[in-house]
Chains A and B, each alone.
Chain A
Amino acid sequence: MKSKLLYAFIAMALFACKDDDGNEPITPVIPNEEEVITTVRYTLTPSGGGAAAVFQFQDIDGDGGNAPIITSDSLDSNVTYTGSLEFFNELETPADTITKEVLEEGDEHQVFFQVTSGDFVISYADVDKNGNPLGLSTTFESNTMGGSLTVILRHEPDKAAAGVSGGDITNAGGETDIEVGFPVNVR
């Protein structure tokens, strides 16, 4: 009895050691990264007509991997432009437009434009369903001095907080989905 049991234990131990069925990890499924924003494009069209200026930030493989590519453009001095901001996910084919999602959830989003240097005046030209500014459409007035512009998209900001509806990000809170900077030249 005693030795039989011992043999049984040894046999079980050996059996366990010989367990080599399915010796490969499960192949991961490459996800459909529909939420990623790869590209921010800010198009400024002169209200009086003429060629549009395009500012673009493109990070085609998402966070990490290769460095993003920033494309800049030049503006004319003392001109009023109509600004249009678009977001894309170019990991998807055809490139998915994130702009639509942001528009649909306009009350949960707000774009902030920060003039880090230079002399531009940017004002909101659109509102969400509650009548608060959103920032996909803007009016952009250039002056004589070039500089740089930072575009920030906040998710779930507190639009009622002081200064936020005027475009001041200080009290906005929420979390940043996009924060990109562009040099802006003025001819």
Chain B
Amino acid sequence: MLDKLLILLFTITVISSHAQTCELTVFGKVLDKQTKKPIEFASVYVEELTKGTVSNVEGEFEINHLCSGEYHLVVSHIGCETQKIFFQLSADTTWTVYVEHSNQLLNEVTVEDHFQESQSQEVEVIGVKEMNRQLSKSLGQTLENISGVAAIKNGNGVAKPVVHGLYGNRLTILNNGIAQSGQQWGVDHAPEIDPLLANRITVVKGVGAVEFMGNSLGSVILVEPKKIDKDPHLHGNARYFFSSNGLSNGINFELQQYHKWVAWKVNGTLKKSGDTNTPDYFLTNTGVEEYNFSAELEKQITSKWSANLYYSSFNTQIGILRGSHIGNLTDLRSAFSANQPFFTQENFSYNIQNPRQEVSHQLLKASSKYLFSEQAWVEVVYAKQINNRKEFDVRRGGRNDKPALSLDQESDFFETKFHYYFQNEWHLKTGVQVNRVNNVNVPETGILPLVPNYLSNERGGFLIVAKSFDKLKLEMGARVEEENRKVASISNTVPREILNFDNTYLNYTASAGVQYAWNEQFSMNYNVGLAARNPEVNEMYSNGLHQGVSGIEEGDINLNTERAIKNTLSFATKKKEKLFAEVLLYHQYIQDYIYLQAQDEFRLTIRGAFPLFKYEQTDAQIYGLDLVTKYQINELWLTELNYSFIRGNEIDNGVSLINLPSNSILSTTSWQLPQIKSLKNVELQMLHRYVFEQRNITADQDFVAPPEGYYLLGFRASSEKQFKSIRLEGHLGVENALNARYRDYLNRQRYFADELGRNFTVGLVVGF
């Protein structure tokens, strides 16, 4: 669904040109893009005059006595990101402001229609407004409230998004258009992306990502910074955020200017949090530090040719709960039965000690676009990524400063894409991509590496065609991709020796989609896709004790590529501007699904006996349902209900797949008022979240049974205020208001500790 409110601002008609210096008028009309019906209560404000107005029942507004000159017009509407539009006035002008109430009611946020990808696949968007409500959250946590999306965690500091049950290297995350390249195979490796460097996160609950290189089995998460506004003045904003649980503080700033020589934007985040706490005790050593930076330059070289340079740097240090560091199965069992984790301290601390992770990720992207015409353009992209990951364990003999895992990964990516819009609504997109990944273990650990060194060369190409008819949209795409992976690993028998492997994979993937709207009230969307994922290095070459999960993991060098067929079918209905409901059904069949199978065997080591797990393949299926409903009760009250249901099992024996999210319900009730005195867009929300117990896991599939279901209550309040050209936005929130004790199935630290207790949050945004 297009979860967005699109303001199109372009129909400017010059009415009269005999302008007196200060007697110009801007007339405007705010209309719904689809129904062409007027929008009432949209706030319109001219910064330079510090005056504004609100659109009337007819959607009309009028601003008089304007001198010719340059102005910034601020348009806002409840529940949406506020937009600032720069214009030059030299005559009376009429603006028609189209506001798109897309499928969902008055929800998110976008102004530019630059999202051309995946027109027929299911899409959900998190915009700036929603991000401002949860400024202190990581990428994985930010997405948790989306139906069909969950997060797999290793404590609160490490969260990986899960879409339709898939995560890690089955899910592609695009950071500013570039597939994130790092150690995605690890359940305890969060994506190295700062959501605050972006302005928009899109989750494509897709069936096949033919446009993108890599391993996605369907779904894609796009994290995108907004384009630099075409405004010649310096603008920016600063954001401050605080969370009481963990005494987390952070700031983020952004500055930008569309200068006549070159447009530029910079963004930076600093964040520090200490030990978080459950209702009963501190989670010792769960602090997080982060410092991130990005810079972007954009140059319109000629009217047809533009170039863009983007750099971002993400740096974090994450403490891992001290009590979750265990030596063997006995330790794990005694941790289950302990009232609180071992090593729990009485007092709060910002200290981060071992076990901890130090991760940095840098992205440099250079792109250039040439327009042959309005309908055809070519874009060339080069991107380099450098990912460094160091993990420090509690070690003996003064070795705590030596990382136990130290991996450097460099990747180089090159892409050429061509778009062509034919007449009669045909759209064609095609491109070629090459990617090279060089993964190296830094020899400083004194430990046999978990994953080997490897060099991967990928090349691929794709073609997508789309055609729109009156009520029907069709889209088809295909991709071919070849990967060669050369591996150099170390044997785990003595004498140690170097083992070399060389594998080549060739994959064909495809997807097709159809969208049909019977009328304004009822539409459907069907997609089918064929996707493939090559076995990852950890699945092939792991061999030895994975201490953190108390198991011996054995890879299999003969694993095949996973191949999947996914179908999604959704129905959406919209009753006037009152009710919106969408149900999405999905089913994915995965041939040769790779998973860790517990063996009926214990392996004796010097730390005791450990259960043996082997990477095996089976045919599996994952299916589920995402439900999204919204009901605007009246002008003040809005209620929303999201429900996610998911199941997955092996085809042969019906055994459930592990690490699938629990079913969940999220209900949000909002009270919204466009204006109270000088406060604009006042909103109060109450959130109820219920997560069901994961009942499909049998006793022999895990060390302990999945935790019980839990209920969380939350509140949020937000408002905005305009002072001349400065805009203030404030957010307050309470999470887990009832201070519930609970554990979550997808958090690996559920073996050791409860989840976080009550948390008060504050967010402040100052924009100019």
Contact = CB atoms under 8 A, between A and B. Distances in A.
Interface string A60-91: 11111111100000000000000000000001
Contacts of B448: 31, 33, 62
Contacts of A101: 396-397
A169 to B, nearest CB: 9
Interface stretch (A45-53, A116-124, A139-147, A174-182): A174-182
Interface string A157-187: 0100000000000000111111110000000
Interface string B307-340: 0000000000000000101111011001000100
A179 B608 contact: yes
Nearest to A12: B380
B446 A177 contact: no
B266 interface: no
B492 A64 contact: yes
A28 B490 contact: yes
A32 B446 contact: yes
A32 B444 CA distance: 9
A77 to B, nearest CB: 29
Contacts, number: 173
Contact of B438 (A26, A33, A173): A26
A30 B490 CA distance: 7
B378 interface: yes
Q: Which 6 residue pairs are nearest across A and B when measured between Cβ atoms?
A: A176-B327, A173-B342, A29-B443, A179-B608, A175-B327, A16-B414
B603 interface: yes
Interface string A1-27: 010011001101100110110011111
B544 A64 contact: yes
B492 A28 contact: no
Most buried by B among A6, A35, A175: A175
Interface stretch (B255-263, B449-457, B585-593): B449-457
Contact of A57 (B449, B543, B606): B606
Nearest to A90: B494
Contact of A174 (B342, B397, B432): B342
A12 B434 CA distance: 11
A98 to B, nearest CB: 8
Contacts of A40: 606
Which of A17, A30, A60, A63 has the most chain B CB atoms closer than 10 A to its own CB? A63
A98 B606 CA distance: 13
A9 to B, nearest CB: 5
B271 interface: no
Of A28, A101, A156, chain B has the most CB atoms within 10 Å of the CB of A28
A175 B326 CA distance: 5
B370 interface: yes
Contacts of B434: 16-17, 19
Contacts of A155: 327, 394, 396
Given A23-B455, A35-B447, A173-B343, A68 B606 contact: yes
A178 B343 contact: no
B604 A67 contact: yes
Interface string B566-610: 000000000000000000000000000000000000011111100
B396 A177 contact: yes
A107 interface: no
A37 interface: yes
Contacts of A23: 455, 457, 486
A105 interface: yes
A67 B438 CA distance: 34
B544 A31 contact: no
Contacts of A175: 325-328, 331, 394
A34 B404 CA distance: 12
B545 interface: yes
B372 interface: yes
Contacts of B325: 175
A27 B439 CA distance: 11
A111 interface: no
A32 to B, nearest CB: 6
A102 interface: yes
Interface of A: 2, 5-6, 9-10, 12-13, 16-17, 19-20, 23-35, 37-38, 40, 57, 59-68, 91, 98, 101-102, 104-105, 108-109, 152, 154-156, 158, 173-180
Given A24-B486, A26-B438, A37 B397 contact: no
A62 B494 CA distance: 9
A91 B552 contact: no
A25 B410 CA distance: 12
20 contacts: A12-B380, A12-B414, A13-B416, A17-B432, A23-B455, A25-B438, A28-B449, A28-B453, A31-B445, A35-B395, A35-B396, A35-B446, A37-B606, A63-B607, A101-B397, A105-B396, A174-B331, A179-B606, A180-B606, A180-B608
Interface in B367-410: 370, 372, 378, 380, 394-397, 399
Given A61-B493, A176-B607, A35 B330 contact: no
Given A13-B432, A33-B447, A156-B394, A68 B490 contact: no
B604 A17 contact: no
A35 B399 contact: yes
Contact of A60 (B432, B443, B494): B494
B676 interface: no
B172 interface: no
B299 interface: no
Contacts of B327: 154-155, 174-177, 179
A104 B490 CA distance: 32
Name the residue among A16, A59, A65, A67 with the largest chain B CB count within 10 angstroms: A16
A68 B604 contact: yes
Given A68-B606, A179-B607, A34 B545 contact: no
B492 A62 contact: yes
Contacts of B489: 28
B114 interface: no
B414 A178 contact: no
B333 to A, nearest CB: 11
A22 to B, nearest CB: 8
B494 A35 contact: no
Contacts of B370: 5, 9
Contact of B606 (A28, A59, A109): A59
